[in-house]
Structure 1
Amino acid sequence: MTSPAKFKKDKEIITEYDTQVKEIRAQLLEQLKCLDQQSEARVQLLQDLQDFFRKKSEIEMDYSRNLEKLAERFMAKTRSTKDHLQFKKDQNILSPVNCWYLLLNQVRRESKDHTTLSDIYLNNIIPRFTQVSDDSVRLFKKSKEVGGQLHEDLMKVLNELYTVMKTYHMYNADSISAEGKLKEAEKQEEKQIGRSVKPEDRLVGRSPDPAANIRFEEKHQRRSSVRKIEKMKEKRQAKYTENKLKAVKARNEYILALEATNCSVFKYYIHDLSDLLDCCDLGYHASLNRAMRTFLSAEINVEQSKHEGLEIIESAIDSLDACNDKQRLMELYHTVFCLPPKFDFQPHMGDGVSHLYVQQPMQGELVLRCQQLQSRLATLKIENEEVKKTMEATLQTIQDMVTVEDFDVADCFQYTNSTESVKSTLSETFMSKPSIAKRRANQQETEQFYFTKLKEYFEGRNLITKLQAKHDLLQKTLGESQRTDYSIASGRRNSSVRKQDGNQIIPLVVESCIRFIIRHGLQHEGIFRVSGSQIEVNDIKNAFERGEDPLAGDQNDHDIDSIAGVLKLHFRGLASPLFPKEIFHDLISCVSLGLSLLGPNHCVLW
């Protein structure tokens, strides 16, 4: 029989094993609960993402509609204007108006982009999240089934270990019990053998006494008892050997089962559990990645589209040019800004003299007047030049004021952990009220001074122009030969007409323009077809009318199209056309006949 101490120890071992198995079972249940919570959190996250993008889609659509209304409101005001018709035709409009139209187009472009963004959110990204949620729930259910099966297998292994351990303990207890009985039989045998052999019987040479027969019978009975004990010992020895073998086998099975159980538990916690989590996450992160990258692609493309539109506007801003806009304005309203014809002398009562009378006694008076004009002009030019310098310096100051680079607001978009408000950030920028007030006060004061000098300069230049015209006419008429600063211009005016072939007179404007075109414009594409600068045409025309030759010399600092425009304008303004009207149809017939003789290829080139 087992001792109470051993029985108590065996009971403690069983209790400890039961406790360990219960802890594992509780841990497995907590694992399933953890997976349930993870699945619920995942579904809730995907639902929140769907609600977020659904709301963002509504916001993008509202924003798109507001942008469209904003653009339509101002486009409706400009559709009937001449600038809008010109913009649709060839976009040859003033640069500020071009910026305005491009800005409206950019708003409409952003409206379309945000409509597309709303559609992508609603019809692409949200269905993706819905699909991810459905797949996640389905895969979790299947993974949970697999996990339940793994738990059952693991508990079966633990139960098998418990059974093997109980069997081992039982066989080992039987072996210990059989061993105790065997030892007890061995002790009885030793006692019985000691009783059966007396010391006097073992003495050598002793003769038997009369009572020997009685002792012999007693001795025979003792031997019979010894044999019984020996048989009992043999039986207990066999029983012990049998139980010992069973105990050893049970212990081997227990050790093998223990190793298998530990390996199974290790495999579950190290490999199976990780694989089970992978099954729960199967495709989740990849699908979520695709959905989020769809959002990222949409946002990036919207930003790229906006950036492209802003680059177009930036190019238009860089193209803001006052000189080109002035030229476009004069070309657009050429009839308004075109130089009117010269005033002709209107004789009174048949007076046919249309030039200065320089004969005596008027000659001396005119010479004196010419000298007075020359002196007066010299003084006025010096004074007006000083006014011009002051005016130009003031203009440069104004330009510096209006071209200061204070448009960078990048500091307002620096995202930091600071809790300062945006208002405090903007307080030191261009838009701060003290800065604006001071800047505008200085600018208005400078502008006032500039316009004062501008008026003074215009008045002086007007007076110089009138006096210069009188002086030049007097000098030209009087035929002075002295070379002064004004006689150089007078010499060019005296050569305004020349004789060719004895009688034909060629005007200076025709001769000078043709000479310039022959030198510099024979290879120019579009000559006499492309319009030149109206401002330059007017300046050159005015110079020729004053008797000057602005095309003298070999300098090529004039626009060839403007020179051709001056020549066309001269022929267009002739009282009698260069080709008489009477021969117009004959000339057309000759041209048509010449083209037909050259062939169709030459006609196309012509």
Structure 2
Amino acid sequence: MSTPSRFKKDKEIIAEYESQVKEIRAQLIEQQKCLEQQTEMRVQLLQDLQDFFRKKAEIETEYSRNLEKLAERFMAKTRSTKDHQQYKKDQNLLSPVNCWYLLLNQVRRESKDHATLSDIYLNNVIMRFMQISEDSTRMFKKSKEIAFQLHEDLMKVLNELYTVMKTYHMYHAESISAESKLKEAEKQEEKQIGRSGDPVFHIRLEERHQRRSSVKKIEKMKEKRQAKYSENKLKSIKARNEYLLTLEATNASVFKYYIHDLSDLIDCSDLGYHASLNRALRTYLSAEYNLETSRHEGLDIIENAVDSLEPRSDKQRFMEMYPTAFCPPMKFEFQSHMGDEVCQVSAQQPVQAELMLRYQQLQSRLATLKIENEEVKKTTEATLQTIQDMVTIEDYDVSECFQHSRSTESVKSTVSETYMSKPSIAKRRANQQETEQFYFMKFREFLEGSNLITKLQAKHDLLHRTLGEGHRAEYVTTSRGRRNSHTRHQDSGQVIPLIVESCIRFINLYGLQHQGIFRVSGSQVEVNDIKNSFERGENPLADDQSNHDINSVAGVLKLYFRGLENPVFPKERFNDLISCVRIDNLYERALHIRKLLLTLPRSVLIVMRYLFAFLNHLSQYSDENMMDPYNLAICFGPTLMPVPDIQDQVSCQAHVNEIIKTIIIHHEAIFPDAKELDGPVYEKCMAGDDYCDSPYSEHGTLEEVDQDASTEPHTSEDVRELPENLRIDCYSKATAL
């Protein structure tokens, strides 16, 4: 290759190298711009997030205030009502009112939660975004400093490569030049040697001497050029080796920067950004999820209250709130005229036939009316069921309206086609009103018929008793129409039935402090075993071992009274006893109850006195067993004084419980003592004197409880199933009578 061509090639190589370095330098500048742009975008994003959450916090605050105003507005309207006073007292409200209060409480809860959410946004989330923005800017600056240093190092490596390459080119060019000169010297030497090979005799001595001198000069020149070539060749080799080594190192450095350093540099700039943003957004998520959790908890409470919307229990609560207004009035007494003291229907011979005829007419008329009224009742019940089906239809699910879609048309069409569309509502309401009108017509017809039946039935029953065609009910006959073995034992001389005496004695010894007694059910298998043993004439509770479950023994006692064909409180005295609830003074009420109960047979009074003295004693341990007189009345009311079928079970049961509670508290004033009524008397401690030193039976304690019970009102309290409590020591040591 000629020298000009070689120089041209070198220039092209250097130009290509410089172009490549220029590209790298431009890339480095572009990389820095990209990193700056990314940081600016991050800062802008974080600023947008701050603005967004600041605005959202303002909205949440405003929403919270509006919710609080809404709740306060309606709560202020109810603070002076009787319902609110009842709510503050014991929170025993009618279920719709309870739903209303819970709804207001839910609004207040949401108000508080949204205020909390606003505070979290302002003082937590936004602060986190500000810190992330500051950290990102700081990290970028530090990364930028490192990037500049890396760029300078990289450019030094490239400059070093350029220098080494130029050196290599220079030495290589000198080596080529020395090689060319050496070849030229070798050619001259060959020519000279060729001339010296001619015959000597043809050459003169002088020429011969000149040739020899020329050969020596050429040899000297060749030796110099050979040495120069060798020197330049060695320098060229070393320069090429250095160039190759530097080239490899440069490529490695460039590769490392682009593959590793650049990635690490981006990571350094990103240091903590994603993790911090993750934490900030998770704070938002936690706040929102907890807001939803709190909202769902409140909605669950409202849902439970909605599930508890029940008319029967509300009716009982409502009548308990106004006992004076809804209690049956006092029974009208016979008002004698001018000294006429006869207060019974006379069935003497002159009018007996007339009364008999009237009795038969009433009987026939009642049979016809009952059939007719039963048909009306069936129609009324069927119509009522239709109305209930109309008002309980499940048309409240609006989940389809909240199904998100890219198109809003689907949502609008879904709403327009729901069951709650205006034409559908109008048609339903028209049908419902028509059905209601028919129901009330039939209901009025049923009430008129039943009222007539009640009046005629009362006359019929009075004539039935007057004419002597009634039958005398035995007190302890069971619902199966036969006497139990313990009843036969009672007839033989035992006034208190054995099953009653044994169960009460067992509870007296081992269960006065047992929590939830008579409220917690025992084992049905054990209850049946104990009951069957008594029916066989045995006494399974006679031993001194408390190996029977207290709840099972209590269940046997309740089962006995529930199984009586004629309840302890006669059905014919039910209305008279219920009317006593109208008497506000408890002591006067007790005296009136006493007056009514003294008309009962002696054997019934003795059993009732024994039972209620025991229940009063049991209520004195209400701090331990959770059974105050009211709770005991709830347990024994339906058993001792069942509501007749013709009466409203719900409304009457509240009055029954009040009567039983009054008798438990004032049993000593209601029942005659042993002097007035000879018979067994309940003893508070059914063990020897050595075992009656319990602190629960100190002198004066029980009397004080009686006085407190007679003056302080008892409130209803739900008694949950509680674990068995330990009995007091004096009773655990007691021996049976």
Query: TM-score, with normalisation over the residues of structure 2?
Result: 0.69
Give the CA deviation at 1:379: 0.4
Answer yes or no: is 1:562 the counterpart of 2:551: no
* Cα shift at 1:351: 3.0
Q: 1:601 aligns with which of 696, 701, 708?
A: 696
- When the two chains are superposed, the root-mean-square deviation of aligned CA atoms in Å is 3.6
How far did 1:568 drift?
4.2
Structure 1 residue 329 corresponds to structure 2 residue 335: no
- Measure, in 1, the Cα distance between the counterparts of 2:393 and 2:597: 57
The residue number in structure 1 matching 2:300 is: 311
Structure 1 residue 326: Cα displacement? 0.8
Residues 214-234 of structure 1, C-alpha deviations (whole Å, 9 max, x = no match): 811211011111111111111
Cα offset for 1:418? 3.5
Choose 369-378 or 517-526, whichever is displaced more. Answer: 517-526
| Aligned residue among 460, 464, 476 for 1:471 | 460
**Which among 386, 389, 404 is matched to residue 393 of structure 2?**
404
CA distance, structure 2, for counterparts of residue 322 and residue 231 of structure 1 = 135
Question: 1:108-153 CA distances to partner (integer Å, 9 max, x unpaired)?
Answer: 0110011011000001111111011001101100100100110110
Could you tell me which residue of structure 1 aligns to residue 431 of structure 2?
442
Number of aligned pairs? 554
Contact 1:2 1:177 in 2 (8 A): no
For 1:75 and 1:88, how far apart are their aligned partners in 2? 13
Distance change in 2, residues 1:74/1:225 (3 Å): same
Task: Tell me the CA shift for residue 531 of structure 1.
Answer: 8.1
1:571 Cα offset (Å): 12
Cα contact 1:517–1:564 (8 A) shared by 2: no
CA distance in 1, matches of 2:347, 2:245: 145
Unpaired runs of at least 5, structure 2:
473-564, 575-595, 620-626, 677-683, 685-691, 706-737
**Which deviations, in whole Å up to 9, do the C-alpha atoms of 1:442-478 show, x marking residues without a partner?**
1111111111110000000000111111111122212
Compute the displacement of 1:158 (Å). 0.5
Mapped contact 1:571–1:578 kept (Cα < 8 A)? no
Q: 1:170 to 1:414 in 2, by over 3 A?
A: same
Residue 105 of structure 1 corresponds to: 105
Structure 2 vs 1, CA of residues 481 and 338 (structure 1 numbering), >3 Å: closer, same or farther?
closer
1:364 alignment partner, one of 337, 345, 353: 353
The C-alpha deviation readout for 1:10-50, integer Å capped at 9, x for no partner, is: 11111111111111111111100100100000100100110
1:507 to 566, 574, 599: 599
**How far, CA to CA, are the matches of 2:130 and 2:571 in structure 1?**
90
Aligned to 1:35: 35
- Which structure's CA Rg is the greater one? 1
**1:183 aligned residue:** 183
Contact 1:366/1:474 (CA < 8 Å) preserved in 2? yes
Partner of 1:279: 268
Give the Å deviation of 1:197. 3.4
- The answer to whether structure 1 residue 390 and structure 2 residue 482 are counterparts is no
CA contact (8 A) 2:67 2:111 kept: yes
CA distance in 2, matches of 1:260, 1:52: 51
User: Does structure 1 conserve the Cα–Cα contact (< 8 Å) formed by 2:125 and 2:284?
Assistant: yes
- Find the aligned partners of 2:643 and 2:265 in 1 and give their Cα distance: 95
User: In structure 1, how many angstroms separate the alpha carbons of the residues matched to 2:154 and 2:374?
Assistant: 107
SS of the aligned residue for 1:58 comes to helix
What do residues 308-363 of structure 1 show as CA deviations (whole Å, max 9, x unaligned)? 11111111111111111111111110000111101112233333332223324222
- Aligned CA distance change for structure 1 residues 48 and 362 (closer, same or farther; 3 Å): same
**In 2 relative to 1, CA 255–598 (structure 1 residues): closer, same or farther, beyond 3 Å?**
closer
Deviation at 1:569, TM superposition (A): 7.3
Residue 500 of structure 1 corresponds to which residue in structure 2? none
Distance 1:139 1:126, change over 3 A: same
Change (3 A) 1:71 1:512: farther
2:219 aligns with 230
Give the partner amino acid of 2:47. Q
1:194 paired residue number: 194
Shift in CA distance, 541/40, structure 1 to aligned 2, threshold 3 Å: closer
Structure 1 residues 167 and 277: alpha-carbon distance in aligned structure 2, compared to 1, 3 A threshold: same
- The residue number in structure 1 matching 2:289 is 300
Query: Aligned letter for 2:656?
Result: S
Instruction: Work out whether 1:454 is the aligned partner of 2:443.
Output: yes
Rounded Cα–Cα distance in structure 2 between residues aligned with 1:29 and 1:127: 34
- Contact between 2:164 and 2:239, CA under 8 Å: does it hold in 1? yes
Q: After superposition, give the CA deviation of every residue in 1:352-376 in whole Å (9 maximum; x if it has no partner).
A: 3322233242222221111111111
Alpha-carbon distance in 1 for matches of 2:385, 2:601: 37
Mark the CA change 1:387 to 1:102 in structure 2 (over 3 Å): closer, same or farther: same
Alignment partners' CA distance in 2, 1:292 and 1:266 = 38
- Asked if the contact 1:528–1:564 (Cα under 8 Å) also holds between the matched residues in 2, the reply is no
Question: Cα deviations across residues 381-406 of structure 1 (Å, max 9, x unaligned)?
Answer: 00001111111111111111222222
Q: Is the 8 A contact 2:359 2:463 kept in 1?
A: yes
Worse-matched range after superposition: 301-310 or 419-428: 419-428
Partner of 2:150: 150
Contact persistence 1:406–1:430 (CA under 8 A): yes
Structure 1: gaps of 5 or more residues: 202-211, 497-503, 549-557, 584-590, 592-596
- For 2:305, the aligned partner's letter is A
1:132–1:287 Cα contact (<8 Å) kept: yes
Residue 489 of structure 2 aligns with which residue?
A: none
- Matched with 1:378 is 367
Counterpart in 1 of 2:54? 54
Q: Which residue of 2 aligns with 1:44?
A: 44
Identify the residue that residue 553 of structure 1 maps to in structure 2.
none
User: Which whole-Å CA distance do the structure 2 matches of 1:145 and 1:505 have between them?
Assistant: 104
Q: Is this contact kept in 2: 1:531–1:562, CA < 8 A?
A: no
State the partner residue of 2:507: none
Work out whether residues 168 and 236 of structure 2, in 8 Å CA contact, stay in contact via their aligned partners in 1.
yes
Contact 1:2–1:173 at 8 Å: present in 2 too? no
Residue matched to 2:160: 160
Q: Is the 8 A contact 2:61 2:114 kept in 1?
A: yes
CA contact (8 A) 1:387 1:456 kept: yes
1:60-139 alignment, distance < 5 Å: 60-139=60-139
Whether the 8 Å CA contact 2:98–2:305 is kept in 1: the answer is yes
SS of aligned partner of 1:361? helix
Moved more, 440-449 or 118-127: 440-449
Q: Distance in 2 between matches of 1:510 and 1:264?
A: 118
Structure 1 length as normaliser, TM-score? 0.83
- Name the counterpart of 2:14: 14
> Matches of 1:175 and 1:513 in 2, distance apart?
143
Task: Tell whether the 8 Å contact from 1:172 to 1:247 is kept in structure 2 after alignment.
Answer: yes
Give distance in 2, aligned partners of 1:162 and 1:130.
Answer: 47
1:351 match: 340
Amino acid of the residue matched to residue 507 of structure 1? T
- How big is the shift at 1:566? 5.2
SS of residue matched to 1:267 = helix
Aligned 8 A contact 1:99 1:317 in 2: yes
Q: Matched residues in 2 for 1:406 and 1:228: separation?
A: 125
Distance 2:655 2:287 in 1: 50
Whole-Å Cα distance in 2 between the matches of residues 34 and 393 of structure 1? 80
Q: Report the Cα distance in structure 2 between the residues aligned to 1:561 and 1:599, rounded to whole angstroms.
A: 36
